[in-house]
Every structure is written in structure tokens, then in C-alpha cells.
Amino acid sequence: MGQLIAVILNVMVLLLLPLGILQIHTVVQAKNELLEVSAAAAKYVSNHGGANEAAIQQGVREIIANELREKQFSISESELNVSISRTLSADPVLWSHADEFELKLEVPYPCFTDLFPTPSEKLQVTRHGTVNVMDYDL
């Protein structure tokens, strides 16, 4: 009887272990993709001052769409939440030199299987930066 229980437990471990590794791989892959997309978006915001809020938001959306399309990430544009806000601004209308910003990207927690409980949280990356000195500041 003990051998039967041991065999059943071994089979369960052999079946569940690969699923657990796939679940971890899926989460790590989504986090890495989110980091890469957020780096490109933060670089865009840092290098494109002299524009209003709507132009910055639109430009970031385009950059993210291009990144997701070109690199064929597993993250889809529809599930990605993007928020950009200035934490320190010199001009209330234009994003200009030395303005500080916060870029936050969120995606739902990726799930490969329902066998493992997943947190109800979202994967989130927050980047802080400043708008660089460009020709429009001179």
C-alpha cells in the first residue's frame, strides 16, 4: 500500500512540476517584456519635450505599439495600462527641460494554468526620469 501511495505521489510531482516551471517562466517572461517596453517608452518621453500632454501620451502609445509589434511580445496592447504623469514641472502646458515624470505600465498577472493560485495583483513597472535638454530649450 505504501508503494502505491509513493507511486501516485511521484506521478503527481512529475506532472505538476513542469506546469509550475512553465507558470514561473510565463511570469518572468512577461515581467522582462514589460521592463523592455517601459525602457523604450521612458527613453521616448525623456527625449521628446516641448510638447503638450496629449502629444506625449500619443507618442508613447505609438512607441509601445511599435515595440510590441516588432518584437512580437506575448503582451498585447489591449491589456497594457499606461499612465504618464509629471511629478515636477516648470511649465503647466509644455513638457520641457528638467521636468520630472513617472511612467507606469501594468498588465494582468499572466496565468499559464489554473492549478496554481495566482495573486490578484497586476505586474507593474514604474520608471522615473527627466526630460533632457534639447534644441527647443535654447
Q: Are 105 and 80 in contact (CB under 8 A)?
A: yes
Handedness of CA 70, 71, 72, 76 (dihedral sign): negative
Give this prediction's pTM: 0.78
How many structural domains does the chain have?
1
pLDDT digits (tens, 9 = 90+) for 60-99: 999 999 988 888 888 888 889 999 998 888 777 888 877 8
**Domain of 12?**
2-137
pLDDT digits (tens, 9 = 90+) for 19-55: 777 777 788 888 998 999 999 999 999 888 778 888 9
